[in-house]
Structure 1
Amino acid sequence: MSSDDLVQDVITIVPEAPFMTIREALQWSARKFCTEADAWVTDEQPIIYGADSDYPMIVAPQGEPLRIVSLTLNGREVTQGEGFEQSSPTAIHFSQKPKESAVSGRLACRPKRGDMPPAEVTDRWSEPIADGATWRLLMMPQPWKNPELAIYYERRFLAGITDARQHSRLGHARGGARVKARRFI
């Protein structure tokens, strides 16, 4: 979904708001959404350069790095606590230096200020992002202010964050868990 489509979704609820204000609210909402929910996880390779040095560097292919979801070290996938610790979005410490200089893995990112996440993120999470922008707009001290309606959109935005966080923790998989039913005797 393009940013113009998102603007059209929001402008139906807050028609008095200027287009640029709506765009800024959408950018704020998308950044907050990605920060809180790990909604944008990239596996473009590699994400760490200089892993065999004293100062490894975490690099996001787009946007800003947030959290390392997993790394491929010595041919196996590991998560935080299994060979590395990430103390900040750009700092990593390995328990043993890897043999390779460039390490691949999965990295949670967020858009830079003033940017939007890629289309696959906005397509999947367009409703919560629009809800967050609407919430922000309705709380502004402007003629279109409506705190009662803003509470409704805040709840929808937070519910979207919860859904995206759960989706992220389950490995960005589609479909549900399959369980064999117990026999009825």
Structure 2
Amino acid sequence: MTLEELVQQVLMDVPDAPMMTVRDAVRRMARELCTEADVWVQEGEPVVVAANTANPQVTASSGQPFRIVSLTLNGRECIQGQGFDQPTPTTIEFYERPEASLVYGRLACRPAVGDMPPTEVVDRWDMAIANGARWRLLMLPQQWRNPELANYYRRQYLADVATAKQTSRLGHARGGARIKARRFI
């Protein structure tokens, strides 16, 4: 789904809002969703460059690096607190300096202010972004203000964020866990 399609979707519920205001609200909520729920995770790319020097840096191929989900150090996957700390989004402190210059892992990113995340992220979380934008727009002190409807969309957005957080903790897997049914005795 494109930015313009999201804007048109939100405009159906807030028809009096100017298109630029809606566009800004959609971008803001896309960034907020990426920040709160780690919905944009880059994998299979170098996460840390110059790891074997005194000043290693966290980098992302696109977007802004935000949080290291995990790193592969000495052939094993580590999370923060197990071999490294990340005091700021772009700096990292290793407990033991790695031998390799590039360290791979999983990195949660967010778009720069005014940008949108990649299409695959927007396609999967378009309703969460739209619900958040509706909530913010309906709370503005304008002629289209509707606090009751805004509260409804706020609850929808918070439920979507909770679902996104759970999905990111489970590795962005789709589908449920498969279990064997208990035998009937």
Q: TM-score with structure 2 length normalisation?
A: 0.96
Query: Displacement of 1:126 after TM fit?
Result: 0.1
Q: In the alignment, is residue 58 of structure 1 matched against residue 53 of structure 2?
A: no
- Aligned-partner Cα distance in 1 for 2:93–2:6: 40
Question: Which residue does 2:145 correspond to in 1?
Answer: 145
4+ long deviations beyond 6 Å: none
List per-residue Cα deviations over 1:22-66 (Å, max 9, x = no partner). 010001100111100001111151111111111110011111111
1:47 aligned counterpart, secondary structure: strand
**Residues 32-181 of structure 1: matches in 2 within 5 Å?**
32-181=32-181
Residue 174 of structure 1: CA displacement?
Answer: 1.4
> Equivalents in 1 of 2:57, 2:146: separation in Å?
45
Is 1:8 aligned with 2:8?
yes
Partner secondary structure for residue 168 of structure 1: helix
Q: What is the letter of the counterpart of residue 53 of structure 1?
A: T
1:40 and 1:51 map into 2 onto residues whose CA distance is 23
Gaps of 5+ in 1: none
Gaps of 5+ in 2: none
Question: Secondary structure at 1:152's aligned position in 2?
Answer: helix
CA distance in 1, matches of 2:79, 2:45: 17
Q: Determine helix, strand or coil for the equivalent of 1:158.
A: helix
- Alignment partners' CA distance in 2, 1:79 and 1:152: 36
Shift in Å, 1:184: 3.1
**DSSP-derived class of the 1:117 partner:** coil
Counterparts of 2:178 and 2:44 in 1: how far apart (Å)? 30
Q: Distance in 1 between matches of 2:159 and 2:143?
A: 27
1:44–1:61: 8 Å Cα contact kept in structure 2? no
Measure the CA separation in 2 of the matches of 1:86 and 1:55: 13
Q: What is the aligned residue count?
A: 185
SS of the counterpart of 1:15?
coil
- The amino acid across from 1:164 in the alignment is A
Q: Given the two structures, how large is their TM-score scaled by the length of structure 1?
A: 0.96
**AA of the residue aligned to 2:54:** D
CA distance in 2, matches of 1:167, 1:133: 21
